[in-house]
């Protein structure tokens, strides 16, 4: 099924993020053996054509690094999709961010999106504008992030309060986007909220 609505797009990207966590966990627990990555991989690309990929003697350390990087990349893609969906549902970014849950969420997602978009394999905070250099709070999910001193620093899950807090932030974003989609389905003309 092709994702069409903003919610479907975000849900599919989040499914990839969660799948990458299963892969990383499976490797870490030994459920997915390391030697699996030393085998030829054959992909059907047409009725009479295969694409054969041979691994170049992956070490356990390399496989663990790549699995972690896959999780990181899918998390970044999730922030890009959420930012796009929020922009679509709210008709662009606010000129000035209010001190409320919605604008805090939008600023946090946008800054995370920028960190991943500019350096996907090693995300780095890109907080150039003063309006983003502050503490943002989303009271409804007890989330807080201090962006005042992060410009130019490598993004770390600890900045968000850990992996669990990032997951909570993404799920909160998805719930908001789903609510918008449900309202848009009921009343397409009244669903968009102007800033």
pLDDT tens-digit map of 84-98: 999 998 888 988 889
Report whether 177 contacts 85 (CB < 8 A).
yes
Tens of pLDDT, residues 134-144: 999 999 999 99
Predicted pLDDT of residue 154? 96
CA dist., res. 176 & res. 159, Å (int): 23
What integer pLDDT is reported at residue 50 of this predicted model?
85
Under the banding of pLDDT at 50, 70 and 90, the label for residue 190 is: low
Q: Kindly report, residue by residue over 168-181, the tens digit of the pLDDT.
A: 999 999 999 999 98
Q: Confidence band (pLDDT; 50, 70, 90) for 191? A: low
> Nearest CA to 12 among 21, 23, 22, 1?
1
pLDDT at position 189 over 80: no
- In this predicted model, what pLDDT tens digit does every residue of 49-77 receive, in sequence order? 888 887 766 788 888 888 999 999 999 99
Distance between CA atoms of 76 and 127, rounded to whole angstroms? 16
Task: Look up residue 181 and give its two tokens.
Answer: 């989609």
Where does the pLDDT of residue 164 fall: very low under 50, low under 70, confident under 90, or very high at 90 and above? very high
What is the gyration radius of the CA atoms in the chain, in angstroms? 19
What is the domain partition of the chain in residue ranges?
6-186
What pLDDT was estimated at residue 193?
46
Pairwise CA distance, residues 168 & 146, whole Å = 17
The first and second tokens of residue 180, run together, are: 């918008």
Sort residue 82 into left (φ over 0), alpha (ψ -120 to 50) or beta. alpha
pTM: 0.87
Residue 36: per-residue pLDDT: 85
What pLDDT, on a 0 to 100 scale, did the predictor assign at position 100?
94
Is the model's pLDDT at 195 over the cut of 50?
Answer: no
Q: Is the pLDDT of residue 111 over 80?
A: yes
**Whole-number average pLDDT of the chain:** 90
């Amino acid at each position: 099924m092709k994702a069409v609505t903003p919610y479907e797009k975000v849900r599919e990207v989040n499914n990839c993020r969660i799948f990458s966590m299963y892969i990383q966990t499976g490797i870490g627990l030994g459920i997915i053996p390391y030697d699996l990555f030393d085998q030829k991989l054959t992909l059907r690309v047409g009725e009479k054509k295969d694409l054969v990929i041979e691994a170049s003697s992956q070490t356990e350390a390399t496989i663990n690094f790549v699995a972690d990087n896959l999780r990181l990349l899918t998390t970044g893609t999730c922030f890009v999709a959420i930012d796009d969906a929020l922009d679509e549902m709210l008709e662009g970014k606010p000129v000035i961010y209010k001190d409320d849950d919605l604008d805090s969420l939008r600023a946090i997602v946008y800054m995370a999106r920028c960190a991943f978009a500019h350096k996907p394999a090693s995300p780095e905070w890109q907080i150039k504008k003063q309006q983003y250099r502050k503490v943002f709070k989303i009271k409804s999910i007890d989330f807080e992030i201090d962006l005042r001193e992060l410009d130019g620093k490598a993004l770390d899950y600890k900045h968000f309060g850990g992996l669990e807090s990032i997951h909570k932030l993404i799920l909160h974003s998805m719930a908001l986007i789903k609510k918008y989609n449900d309202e848009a389905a009921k009343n397409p003309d009244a669903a968009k909220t102007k800033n």
